[in-house]
Amino acid sequence: MHKFLLTLISLVCLGALVACGSSSSSSNVVPPTSPSGGNNAGFTTSSLSGTYVFSVNGVQDNTNFAVVGTFTADGAGKITAGTRDTVNNAGSKSLGETLTGTYTVNQDGRGQAVISGSLTQTIYSFVLSSPSGGKLFQAGATSNSVVVDAVGRFELQTGTPAFGGTYVVRLDGEDFKHFPYAAIGGLTASANAITGTIDENDSGTPSLLFASTGSYTFSGTTGTASFTTPTGGTHNFNVYYVSPSRVELLCTDTASMWFLYGYADLQTSVAGTAATFTGDQVLNLSGYDSLGSIQETGRLTLDGAGNLAKAVKDYNGNGTLYQAVASTGTYAVAADGRWTAAMIPTGASLDSEGIVGWQVSPKQSLVMVTTGANPSVSGYTILETGDMRAQTLGLSNASIAGNYAQAFSGFDYGGLGNFESVGNYLADGNGSLAGTIDFQTDSEGFTSNSSQSGPYAVDATLGRGTATVSGVTVTFYTVDAADIYMFSTINSSAYQGTLTLQSTTAK
């Protein structure tokens, strides 16, 4: 089974760890060529200013690792302070590593950060969607031939720290046997106590509606939390405050060999019945089955009567591509915003999917696939996580216009291995994309300032379209004109990614 980078975008690594077997060493490495050229989207070094929370996960030498931390950018090219916690699935951890460094920001939002920790130096390529943050991957270096495959996000820390209310939690990682693991749930934090419900998928075996309990403490913008899950008992987490509505989580239970990371979003409102939970939605999922890694992106309509309509998805299972797969199904909703659905493909040799979702709001849910059915495969299991977002239909090519931050990652079965890229594209509103990307592959290492161009076309009826991005033909699904999910249409290139409309002013 390939060690895939799960998109948190979910997404998923912003750091390396010597004690955990990282490719970095205590000596400095030579940074790759910095971003240059490209479209003038109006970004400058001062666009990156403030304290950012970063969360990343990835793989190096078959060891999965995850990082959560902060860095403070001074708006003039220096990282003046920061800290990071790193854990891996071999049972190692480094907590509270201090950080300094330097960074550059190109006019199109692409940038490079060289972060020096008390244990190791790491280099990241990133792209800003706005001064509030963006996406990144760990970049190669000329004096270091080992590629670390790691992707993640960074977000500006805002607001007065507060931790209370019901949070929708998502966890990804591995159990103590190194089997894939995921969980989502609704947990309420109040007076240093945690109560709620967790739905779990441990290597394809679901445990649903588990009554979870725990506790938390907070000091400033960091804290700790613990809560129970069905098979793992009590897990302990370091908590990083991003905003009043978001915290990042990193499990520190390395002695018990559990490897978990995730985040929690404050639940703002719910649609607690099928009649109120309605409308067009886009799904973005990735994970594993017993045959290997799987990714899927698609859309559906919740009809208000408990039925799934106009459901279609693009799916890659371990290098086998299925496109425009139609499905039928049903859904049900509880008063707390927890919902379940069954998606049944029509006319394709794919598996039915049992889905559990938790509403952050009626327009956004965290999602987990808990069951699959394939009678021709003995012991078939499935585990996927991702999100579902309300979709705006009726868009045309003219709706997709302006500068977009691009993030793309996955695995190439044709020999390139793991692939990560960030970049900028200018959409002209008339069906043409042009931009510049930075990317790396296992076989070729790091490449900077690669010019790219290609067509795009969107169908107003379903918001499903096609484009050429990072030299790859993709199917995309528009969430709206500002956010687009992409999916490679090449069998051997199991990639997923996003295009996000850039803004130089939004914070």
Query: pLDDT (tens digit, 9 = 90+) per residue, 206-240?
Result: 999 999 999 999 988 999 999 999 999 999 999 99
Between 85-89, 369-373, 390-394, 482-486, the lowest mean confidence (pLDDT) is in 369-373
Query: pLDDT (tens digit, 9 = 90+) per residue, 68-116?
Result: 999 999 999 999 999 999 999 999 999 999 999 999 999 999 999 999 9
Q: Is the pLDDT of residue 6 over 50?
A: no
Contacts of 67 (CB under 8 A, 6+ apart): 13, 14, 15, 16, 17, 54, 55, 56, 57, 84, 85, 86, 152, 250
Share of the chain above pLDDT 70, in %: 91
The pLDDT confidence band at residue 148, using thresholds 50, 70 and 90, is: confident
Which pLDDT score is estimated for 31? 81
Q: Is the pLDDT of residue 452 over 50?
A: yes
Class of domain 18-156: mainly beta
Contacts of 442 (CB under 8 A, 6+ apart): 147, 149, 416, 417, 418
Pick the CATH number of 165-266 from 1.10.3470, 2.40.128, 2.60.40, 3.30.450: 2.40.128
Structural domain 279-390, CATH architecture: Beta Barrel (2.40)
Instruction: Please report the sign of the dihedral spanned by the C-alpha atoms of residue 159, residue 165, residue 168, residue 172.
Output: positive
Q: Is the pLDDT of residue 15 over 50?
A: no
User: Which DSSP helix (H) or strand (E) runs through 199?
Assistant: strand 193-202
Query: pLDDT (tens digit, 9 = 90+) per residue, 329-350?
Result: 999 999 999 999 999 888 766 7
Lookup result for tokens 């490495």: 29
Return the bridge partners of 349, or none: none
Q: What is the DSSP string of 353-394?
A: EEEEEEEEETTEEEEEEEEEE-TTSTT--EEEEEEEEE----
Q: Model's pTM, two decimal places?
A: 0.93
Between 21-30, 103-112, 127-136, the lowest mean confidence (pLDDT) is in 21-30
How much is the average pLDDT of 296-304?
A: 97
Query: pLDDT (tens digit, 9 = 90+) per residue, 465-490?
Result: 999 998 899 999 999 999 999 999 99
